[in-house]
Structure 1
Amino acid sequence: MVVHSVVYGQRLRDAHALLDADPRVRVRFTVAPHTFNRGAAEHVRRLGGTVLPWAEAVRERFDLVLAAGSQGLEQVHGPMVRLPHGARHIKLSPTGVGAGRTVSGLGPEYFVWQGRLVPVAYALAHEDDRTELGRGCPEALPIAEVVGDGCYDRIAAALPHRERYRAALGVRPEERLVLVCSTWGSGALFTRFDTVLPRLAAELPRRGHRVVLLVHPNVSAAHGARPLRSWVTTATGGAVTVLGPQEDWRPLLVAADAVIGDHGSVTLYGTMTEAPILLAEYPHHAVNPHSPGALLARTAPALDLVRPLSVQLDDAARQYRRTDYAAIAARISSEPGRFDLRMRRLLHRVLGLDESVPAPGPNLLPLPAPLWPRRRRERLRHAADPAVAGPRRR
């Protein structure tokens, strides 16, 4: 398993669970050269894997190479299966001009090296991706296989247990959990944190609201997780909690009452929930116009920094129509609930193994560690509210 970055490693975890359950398969990891691979080795260790140095990995031959990125893969020996590293293919490639721009992840630069296809299979989430692949890299169509989306299936399975995830996080039933999520690069919500986050801290009542910030791990890889957390804490007076780049964001999305996002994958996955979505940033020129992300941009209200944010969240909740967002969510995966089955079949076929070993059970999202422990919150509330605390002892 080739882990280019924390994001790519997160994307591989569902496939890793399918392989790890088969005693005939020995899984090894390596971290490929990548601009944003800071934290990738730590992510592998959190999965319980050992890291094979890249210099050694490119000298060996493997029965299967699994990756969610493309950089450097031409140096690795063995039949390769590629996965997308996000929900569908929302962004346009930064290269090219106008109609000549390909969809990010579906152009020849992601598949072809010196005239040959590097992967033997590319696992797509939706049938519509075949059309995009045909536009961007038609020579890769024979290796395309629609398997569905592992994140989609995990989130869908967790939604009926939403209250358990909220309780595990420390969210009270009467509290509203607002998830602020940003992708990376120009046009991301990250570029407007200095205006959006202080407004949220100032305008949303502390009592009754919990705000969590989820930032694309590439931002932490480039700037450092600690400086980002320090800046957010200072700018918001501690009103916004930052989720670490290594943590699983999916339970937060399941638990959220509202989402403020941009053109990243997490915002798109938010259409699976019943949380109203506000788009704080959306660079239409950089978004694949045929993607469900573009449809989301035409459906969700845009955040207006002139109007009070609490009013906009209330308006978004009143105007929310579940059928509109369910139609967008349906375009994330054309094989809902079947990722494990189809992906396992693909991996075993490439490995040359039968499926006689029982498949692992449903891989449910684990309950998260509390972000707001109840006891600590009660101490803080008592200390801050004299009416609750009562007279101090001498």
Structure 2
Amino acid sequence: MEAEMNWFTTPLGAGGAHRVTIPGCRKVLVIVPSVVAGTRLLDLLPLLDADFRLQVYFTLPEPCGATAAFVTAAGGLVIPWELALQHEFDLVLAASYRFVDRAPGPVLVLPHGASAMKSRRTVRHTAEPVHGLDRQLLMRDGKVHAAAIVLSHDRELDVLAESCPEAVDRAVVAGDLCLDRMRASLPFREHYRRALGVEPDEMLVTISSTWTPESTFARRPELYRELPRQARVAAVLHPNIAAAHGTRQVHAWLAGCDVIVIPPEEGWRATIIASDVVIGDHGSTTQYAAAIGRRVLLATCPEVREGSLADVLRDRVPRYDDDLGQAVRVPGFAELVSSRLDRAKEILRAKMYELIGVGEPAHAAPVAPVPVSRVR
């Protein structure tokens, strides 16, 4: 209903020019196919704040209640995908290659996890491993459609040059804005712990799970019941779990477990910072925990791509076997995630304004600490 109303009430709708307060704005479109992509893109938008020359629109290419609620909660001005396709935008932001070939403007594609390359090994009919910089992913109809392909690390540029040389001139090695925000938030660890209700002398253990049948949530469900006997426990679950099964079902599965369930939209980063130990799987959350110096253990880890971040953790981190004392830190892991530590905001901001075609504002764009967890 809201999207239908916005068809008529936005500056792009019929007669929209008569409703505009600030005319002549450059148009930025944020494509949100999922909550996961949306959370990554919300990190980008503050880099465009305080600029009266810009108007930001959001669009959902596929109907999804969880994604619509996420964008609405963020206060985004939502327009229907069909309406977006009727207009040309000065910049399109995406965190997935889905729909990029149809995007109505120059697209900057951001990774939606740690690294632009997938850790999980997937195999297509060719029996060849597929990573996040696969040629078939980047090209449609013989053309690279993204105007800017954001990479986290220099080594990804080498992979891109081998897998899809046509895309190399679109690559931007920018580091990892999510990691930079977490690093900037480390001084506020006690604040995050208080927001979770964790006492100074309590140990906080976070159980991290990606989705799929090979995740912690699927393979080690007993942890959610057993670990609270040893420590305070928080559960960080991939947003796709709630999107696929429903928030109520997730809470039903965890009924009787004395755990702090972190909302899928935001709060996982603050929780990881607040944690003493993180027990996870091959998902990005475990990798970010290691990158900010948290002690980590693996609950499970499937076959992953050789040389991936998950592969490094599988080699260096013990499996959890009822002993939290075995948790380890992984020195130097942040440098494996990003080769532009604490520089992503400058690089990404410059590239976005280059694509928009206007100069950057004179004011700085600081890296904001991550918000506190609002537990349910």
Q: Deviations over 1:292-339 (max 9, x none)?
A: 2211110010123xxxx2xx10232xxx3x4xx121221111111111
SS in 1 for 2:255: helix
Question: In 2, are the aligned partners of 1:90 and 1:293 still within 8 Å (CA)?
Answer: no
SS in 1 for 2:222: helix
Separation (CA, whole Å) in 1 of partners of 2:214 and 2:84 = 36
Deviation at 1:136, TM superposition (A): 2.9
Q: How many residues align?
A: 346
Q: Normalized against structure 1, the TM-score is what? A: 0.83
Question: In 2, are the aligned partners of 1:182 and 1:188 still within 8 Å (CA)?
Answer: yes
- 1:171 corresponds to which residue? 198
Following TM superposition, the consecutive aligned residue runs of length 4 or more in structure 1 with deviations greater than 3 angstroms are: none
> Quick check: 1:276 aligned with 2:298?
no
- 2:235 corresponds to which residue? 213
Deviation at 1:171, TM superposition (A): 0.9
Question: In 2, are the aligned partners of 1:90 and 1:263 still within 8 Å (CA)?
Answer: no
Change beyond 3 A, Cα 1:215–1:49: same
Q: Normalized against structure 2, the TM-score is what? A: 0.87
- 1:263 corresponds to which residue? 282
> Quick check: 1:254 aligned with 2:273?
yes
Highest relative contact order (Cα 8 Å, sep 6+), 1 or 2?
1
Separation (CA, whole Å) in 1 of partners of 2:121 and 2:53 = 39
**Which among 316, 320, 335 is matched to residue 299 of structure 1?**
316
Cα-Cα RMSD: 1.9
Change beyond 3 A, Cα 1:44–1:169: same
Deviation at 1:144, TM superposition (A): 0.6
Change beyond 3 A, Cα 1:135–1:248: farther
Change beyond 3 A, Cα 1:186–1:270: same
Separation (CA, whole Å) in 1 of partners of 2:121 and 2:161 = 15
Letter in 1 for 2:326: D
**Which among 20, 25, 38 is matched to residue 9 of structure 1?**
38
Report which of the two has the higher share of helix: 1
Question: In 2, are the aligned partners of 1:30 and 1:52 still within 8 Å (CA)?
Answer: yes
Question: In 1, are the aligned partners of 2:208 and 2:237 still within 8 Å (CA)?
Answer: yes
Change beyond 3 A, Cα 1:49–1:98: same
**Which among 142, 147, 150 is matched to residue 115 of structure 1?**
142
> Quick check: 1:43 aligned with 2:70?
yes
Question: In 1, are the aligned partners of 2:119 and 2:311 still within 8 Å (CA)?
Answer: no
Structure 1: runs of 5 or more not aligned: 373-394
- 1:66 corresponds to which residue? 93
Question: In 1, are the aligned partners of 2:32 and 2:67 still within 8 Å (CA)?
Answer: yes
SS in 2 for 1:178: strand
**Which among 312, 322, 326 is matched to residue 331 of structure 2?**
326
Change beyond 3 A, Cα 1:39–1:20: farther
Letter in 2 for 1:314: G
Deviation at 1:99, TM superposition (A): 7.1
Separation (CA, whole Å) in 2 of partners of 1:20 and 1:146 = 23
Deviation at 1:78, TM superposition (A): 0.7
Deviation at 1:102, TM superposition (A): 2.1
Separation (CA, whole Å) in 1 of partners of 2:331 and 2:125 = 33
Letter in 2 for 1:15: L
Q: Deviations over 1:76-120 (max 9, x none)?
A: 2111110111001242463436872121x2112322111111101
> Quick check: 1:101 aligned with 2:129?
yes
Deviation at 1:38, TM superposition (A): 4.2
Counterparts of residues 1-394 of structure 1 (less than 5 Å): 1-33=30-62, 37-88=64-115, 89-92=117-120, 94-96=122-124, 100-103=128-131, 105-201=132-228, 204-205=229-230, 209-234=231-256, 236=257, 239-284=258-303, 287-304=304-321, 309=322, 312-316=323-327, 320=328, 322=329, 325-369=330-374, 371=375
Separation (CA, whole Å) in 2 of partners of 1:52 and 1:93 = 36
Deviation at 1:137, TM superposition (A): 2.3
Deviation at 1:288, TM superposition (A): 2.2
Deviation at 1:192, TM superposition (A): 1.9
Bigger mean CA offset, 339-348 vs 360-369: 360-369
Separation (CA, whole Å) in 1 of partners of 2:44 and 2:232 = 33
Separation (CA, whole Å) in 2 of partners of 1:94 and 1:297 = 17
Q: Deviations over 1:174-199 (max 9, x none)?
A: 10111001111132112124333233
Structure 2: runs of 5 or more not aligned: 1-29
Question: In 2, are the aligned partners of 1:84 and 1:123 still within 8 Å (CA)?
Answer: yes
Deviation at 1:273, TM superposition (A): 3.4
Change beyond 3 A, Cα 1:366–1:92: closer
Change beyond 3 A, Cα 1:70–1:139: same
Q: Deviations over 1:109-148 (max 9, x none)?
A: 3221111111011011111111222333232111111011
Percent sequence identity over aligned pairs: 37
SS in 1 for 2:278: strand
Separation (CA, whole Å) in 2 of partners of 1:93 and 1:351 = 36
Separation (CA, whole Å) in 1 of partners of 2:283 and 2:102 = 30
Bigger mean CA offset, 5-14 vs 157-166: 157-166
SS in 1 for 2:122: coil
Deviation at 1:341, TM superposition (A): 0.5
* Structure whose alpha-carbon radius of gyration is higher: 1
Separation (CA, whole Å) in 1 of partners of 2:41 and 2:220 = 29
Separation (CA, whole Å) in 2 of partners of 1:182 and 1:98 = 29
Separation (CA, whole Å) in 2 of partners of 1:212 and 1:261 = 12
Deviation at 1:222, TM superposition (A): 0.5
